Amino acid sequence: MALAGEELLREAAGLLKFPLRFDPKTRRAIILDKTENRQYHIELPTKSPFLYIYAVLRKLGPDRENTAFLRALLELNLFGLQTNTTTLGLDGEADSLVVHLAYPLEFLTPQLLVNVIGNFVATVRKVHEKIENLAITTNQELRHRKTHFSAADALGKGKSKEEIRIIRI
């Protein structure tokens, strides 16, 4: 028989390597990972058969305008193949990229929950690294294109190569 969500979290908290704070009023828990300086959020909505875990990967910031980066995120997210079945999403209000997992409560035991959380933490670390690499790569490509187009525009306006000074952004 499955444990109630709150009881499940309390028992799992004793087995975790990370400290877990649970608020019974909001039915939310936060795990603090000081080595990565990251918070993992666990939610137990009252009328849901799922436990939800999510973490903020990064602020989106100026990358929200980088369509190559956003496209690469969608490709990374496809079917969860490169994200270990987690999903990526955008918290528009916080302008943050988040990674999320929904797990059915029905057969979850405290030890299985510890394993799920451990796998989620490992996945977040790997996905975060992939995303940071994507941001670097797509931003470099974007800067290269801007430099190329600005030089091409200048040449198109009748300026000679000697008159053009390319400034890298």
Cβ-contact 50, 104 below 8 angstroms: yes
Q: Where are the domains of the chain?
A: 5-124
- Report which of 91, 34, 87 is spatially closest to residue 59, judged by C-alpha positions: 91
- Per-residue pLDDT of 99-145, as tens digits, reads 999 999 888 999 999 999 999 999 999 999 999 888 888 877 656 55
Domain 5-124 annotated CATH 3.30.43.10: no
Cβ-contact 86, 123 below 8 angstroms: yes
Task: Provide the pLDDT for residue 129.
Answer: 92
Residue whose structure tokens are 């190329």:
148
For residue 103, the one-letter residue type is Y
Q: Which residue has the higher pLDDT, 35 or 118?
A: 118
pTM for the structure as a whole: 0.76
User: Rounded to whole angstroms, how far apart are CA atoms 124 and 84?
Assistant: 9
E strands of the chain, at which residues? Answer: 20-23, 28-33, 38-43, 50-59, 87-91, 96-104
pLDDT band at 15 (very low <50, low <70, confident <90, very high): confident
Q: Which residue has the higher pLDDT, 155 or 121?
A: 121
Task: Provide the pLDDT for residue 31.
Answer: 86
pLDDT band at 169 (very low <50, low <70, confident <90, very high): very low
Task: Provide the pLDDT for residue 167.
Answer: 46
- Largest pairwise CA distance in the chain: 79
pLDDT band at 168 (very low <50, low <70, confident <90, very high): very low
